């Protein structure tokens, strides 16, 4: 609980002094509008969160790495309906004193749609989002699988509000439930986000992105991937600094540490991204 409160404080402080020229979260794209983001990510962990939420070294001096190229895309079908998808190609390695496993290939694919329910200047925007996760090109029995090899279905409620004219930014809140087929537990998903412009071209944003396990999954974890356990909690702080090169293109640098959790890897992700959007 202390870690969660500290994380919320970090998000609030970042918002108070600084987050983004591109609204995300609850907002939908205009009809025909798009947002395309390609990124290179590096995730490293040599620790995990145990069942009590304490950080412990991975067994046998283990190290887990995930290099991946990912693509995220949104397109406005109408002003109120946006479709989206996310796909990545991964290179994984799990190495310790006793064994070494590697894998590469297409990870899980997200397909979704966001629908705007309500919007006005005084209240903000309220949307709902349906997301389906489709297993990628791997097998759950691989020595180092890239996922759980099953389908997820998530329904999410999103609320966003511009902070203009008092502050050059926005705030976004999300809550959702993810139904997971097979062995993994269902999950409660939550997100707190704030973003601001830093002058004419720079922008920044901060997200507290959380997963709370319902603990109704299989108690036996046979995967060699410490990030794909069946019953886990996880809270990540996602920090981004971006530069808008032109009205339709920009670059971003990201840092996303795992702040708190249970029964999963405890590491950090580093990313560099290039995005294109409708001006």
**In the chain, domain spans:** 2-277
Domain over 2-277 is classified CATH 2.130.10.30: no
Spatial separation of the C-alpha atoms in residues 77 and 103, rounded to whole Å: 37
pLDDT tens string 240-254: 999 999 999 999 999
**Is the predicted pLDDT of residue 8 greater than 90, yes or no?**
no
Higher pLDDT, 19 or 112: 112
Spatial separation of the C-alpha atoms in residues 69 and 145, rounded to whole Å: 17
Spatial separation of the C-alpha atoms in residues 193 and 121, rounded to whole Å: 19
Spatial separation of the C-alpha atoms in residues 274 and 71, rounded to whole Å: 10
pLDDT tens string 116-127: 999 999 999 999
Distances (CA, A) of 43 to 81, 194, 198, 202, 219: 33, 23, 28, 25, 26
Kindly report the CA angle at 11 between 9 and 13, in degrees rounded to 5?
A: 65
Contacts of residue 86, Cβ cutoff 8 Å, sequence gap at least 6: 70, 71, 72, 73, 109, 110
> 41 forms bridges with which residues in the sheet?
68, 271
């Amino acid at each position: 609980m202390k870690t969660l409160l500290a994380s919320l404080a970090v998000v609030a402080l970042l918002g108070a002094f600084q987050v983004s020229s591109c609204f995300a979260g609850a907002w939908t794209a205009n009809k025909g509008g798009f947002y395309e983001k390609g990124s290179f990510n590096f995730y490293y962990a040599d620790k995990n969160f145990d069942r009590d939420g304490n950080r412990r070294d991975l067994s046998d001096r283990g190290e887990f790495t995930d290099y991946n190229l990912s693509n995220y895309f949104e397109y406005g079908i109408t002003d109120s309906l946006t479709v989206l998808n996310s796909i990545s190609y991964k290179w994984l390695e799990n190495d310790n004193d006793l064994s070494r496993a590697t894998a590469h290939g297409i990870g899980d694919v997200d397909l979704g749609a966001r629908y705007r329910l309500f919007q006005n200047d005084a209240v903000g925007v309220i949307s709902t989002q349906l997301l389906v996760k489709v297993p990628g090109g791997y097998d759950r029995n691989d020595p180092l699988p890239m996922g759980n090899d099953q389908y997820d279905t998530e329904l999410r409620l999103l609320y966003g509000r511009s902070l203009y004219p008092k502050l050059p930014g926005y705030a976004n809140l999300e809550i959702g439930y993810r139904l997971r087929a097979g062995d993994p537990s269902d999950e409660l998903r939550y997100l707190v986000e704030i973003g601001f412009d830093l002058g004419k071209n720079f922008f920044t944003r901060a997200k507290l992105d959380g997963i709370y396990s319902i603990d109704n999954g299989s108690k036996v974890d046979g995967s060699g991937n410490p990030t794909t356990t069946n019953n886990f909690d996880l809270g990540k702080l996602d920090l981004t600094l971006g530069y808008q090169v032109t009205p339709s293109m920009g670059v971003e640098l990201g840092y996303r540490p795992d702040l708190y959790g249970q029964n999963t890897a405890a590491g950090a992700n580093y990313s560099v991204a290039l995005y294109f959007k409708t001006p």
